[in-house]
Homo-oligomer: A and B are copies of this chain.
Amino acid sequence: MSHPLFERHRATLDAALVAIRERGYWSAYPEMPSPRAYGETAAADGQAAFEAHLNTAFELDQPGTVGRVGRERSPFGFDLGITYPRADVDVLLPAMQAAMPAWRRLGAEGRAGVCLEILARLNRKSFEIAHAVQHTTGQAFMMAFQAGAPHAQERGLEAVAYAYRAMTEQVPSALWEKPQGKQDPLRMEKTYTVMPRGVGLVIGCCTFPTWNGYPGLFASLVTGNAVLLKPHAGAVLPMAITARVCREVLAEQGLDPNLVALAVNEPGSPLASTLALRPEVRIIDFTGSTANGDWLERNATQAVVYTEKAGVNSVVIDSTNDFKGLVRNLAFSLALYSGQMCTAPQNLYIPRDGIDTEDGHKRFDEVAQALAAGVDKLLGDTARAVEVLGAIQNEGVVRRLESAAELGRVVLASRAIEHPQFPAATVRTPVLLALDAARDEAVFTHEHFGPIAFCIATDGTAQSIELCKRVIQQHGAITAAVYAADAAVIEAMREAMLDAGVALSENLTGGVFVNQSAAYSDFHATGANPAANAALTDSAFVANRFRVVQSRRHV
């Protein structure tokens, strides 16, 4: 008899298992914040639930709580005023370890059922989580809803599907019968048990706390580990709500809620590096800076470490049959969430002699100006602009943006926008700069996180591709794109990006953007260049979160 929650969610899991193999479009959680999908009162209820968190103590009932901590401020201009339990990890980590044996014994089906129930509950809280994501990351509401709630849930489900497949790749027990010529065969019964590694630590970022956090959370949890969530000090609430939902579902099932716990720090009081070296921590999922990610890879050798770090996302523009579409598409990619996506393009390589289009030849400056005009047009209407841009997450981005004009020739200056609804919000439009491939390499070979992009004049597309490849091999990237009317150029770019180990989008001129990565279909990051040592999600992301331990006996 299967676990009741496994039975309840089996069809969803089965569909996800098909999706990760076939990689067509599939979705378990509606991405539109519509009453039809989520209920008539869902939007109002979610907003009320979010507002009820403000200026309160968020309770989690974790063991090893010593005082409270928390200092989040919405990028839309107000303090959240929420405090969280401060964890005494010397108490909390042993409690989490103690929770694992019963969880392990539940088996792959039972754990998958519980994880899918958690995801279903999270889905019902999508509006509440969306507001929490909006007011920690600075994403506009629609993106906060989609990326922060249903799309993050899809990534969590995808991780569950990969891990479930990996855990069930061999039979749980087997009869081994070896012929012995005329004698009786040797016969043994063998048992194969999936065993967790220990405590998984999920170190979150301040821009996509759930989308980047759920894969590691669910991959570690479903494989039998306990999971300690260490969100970014600036984006705690979405993961605190997540931890509470996990703990509630676990407790309802008679399981120890300490399988999922939260550890919160305040800005300036690092906690992740301490947690990461604890012997109890055997798995780490990290999203953040290259310096911190590299440090984890080199120092947290007691754990398996999955990192997503900085990169230099790149676009090679050779030619196009749809220049308007190119401009519209790229302008949106540059502006969306103020370029604060790990997938947002930064380096646009354009021949200094210009490009051919359906509308004739365009000089380098014409291309750059067209992109600038495209961004201006997209953001011309303030009400629409703030829904695209969201708000700037932190002061570091503002400072970087304000000094960006020194980096090159300004094609489009950044400007501040007053948010109609949140006048104290920090809203800025992108800056676009013209650089020279030969002269400015020191500028464009690292990530300038935020709404900062470069039109880089090259000697021609051959140099663009070569430079794009070399920069990604050395400095990493999550995304690359190419615009070319010539199939040979596309083919050359494809080969180069395979060598660079980066996902390539070709001639996006419509409703798909290079920033976007679809669960079950797109591998987010590759693990094949310095921007990440893993992909969300593939088999390598899940297979080493558990070990198979066997026993055997004669029968």
Spell out A's residues near B (CB within 8 Å).
20-25, 165-166, 169-171, 174-180, 186, 188, 190-193, 195, 197, 297-298, 301, 490, 494, 497-498, 501-512, 518, 521-523, 526-528, 535, 538-540, 543-544, 547-554
Contacts and interface: CB of A to CB of B under 8 A. Distances in A.
A406 to B, nearest CB: 34
Q: Which of A25, A169, A171, A504 lies at the interface centre, i.e. has the most chain B CB atoms within 10 A of its CB?
A: A25
A387 B552 CA distance: 27
A497 B543 contact: no
Given A521-B176, A547-B535, A186 B511 contact: yes
Contacts of A186: 510-512
B510 A554 contact: yes
Contacts of A523: 192, 548-550
A28 to B, nearest CB: 14
B549 A20 contact: no
Contacts of A166: 539
Contacts of A528: 195, 197, 547, 549
B538 A507 contact: no
Nearest to A20: B170
A170 B23 contact: yes
A522 B554 contact: no
A210 to B, nearest CB: 21
Given A195-B501, A503-B551, A506-B551, 20 more contacts: A21-B170, A25-B179, A165-B169, A180-B511, A186-B510, A186-B512, A188-B512, A190-B521, A192-B523, A193-B498, A195-B498, A195-B526, A490-B553, A497-B549, A504-B552, A507-B554, A508-B554, A526-B549, A535-B548, A540-B547
A178 B521 CA distance: 11
24 contacts: A20-B169, A20-B170, A22-B171, A23-B170, A23-B174, A25-B176, A25-B177, A25-B178, A186-B512, A188-B512, A190-B522, A191-B494, A195-B526, A494-B551, A497-B551, A502-B549, A503-B552, A505-B553, A506-B553, A523-B550, A527-B544, A528-B547, A543-B543, A543-B544
A21 B171 contact: yes
| 7 residue pairs, one from A and one from B, having the closest CB atoms | A528-B547, A506-B553, A23-B174, A540-B543, A504-B551, A540-B544, A539-B543
A538 B24 CA distance: 28
Contacts of A510: 186, 554
| Integer count of this chain's copies in the complex | 2
A75 B535 CA distance: 48
Q: Tell me if A's interface is mostly helix, strand, loop or mixed.
A: mixed
A543 to B, nearest CB: 4
A224 to B, nearest CB: 11
Nearest to A191: B494
A513 to B, nearest CB: 11
Q: Which of A490, A522, A552 lies at the interface centre, i.e. has the most chain B CB atoms within 10 A of its CB?
A: A552
B297 A507 contact: no
Contacts of A538: 543, 548
A518 to B, nearest CB: 7
Contact of A506 (B24, B503, B506, B552): B552
A508 B511 CA distance: 65
Contacts of A25: 176-179
Contacts of A539: 166, 169, 539, 543
A549 B21 contact: no
Q: Which of A21, A170, A509 lies at the interface centre, i.e. has the most chain B CB atoms within 10 A of its CB?
A: A170
B24 A549 contact: no
Contacts of A494: 191, 551
A480 to B, nearest CB: 9
A178 to B, nearest CB: 4
Contacts of A169: 20-21, 165, 539
A521 to B, nearest CB: 5
Contacts of A191: 494
A511 to B, nearest CB: 5
B24 A174 contact: yes
Contacts of A509: 554
A374 to B, nearest CB: 19
A410 to B, nearest CB: 33
A174 B522 CA distance: 10
B298 A23 contact: no
A74 to B, nearest CB: 32
A165 B543 CA distance: 13
Contacts of A527: 544, 547
A155 B160 CA distance: 30
A305 B497 CA distance: 26
Contacts of A554: 507-510, 512
A425 to B, nearest CB: 31
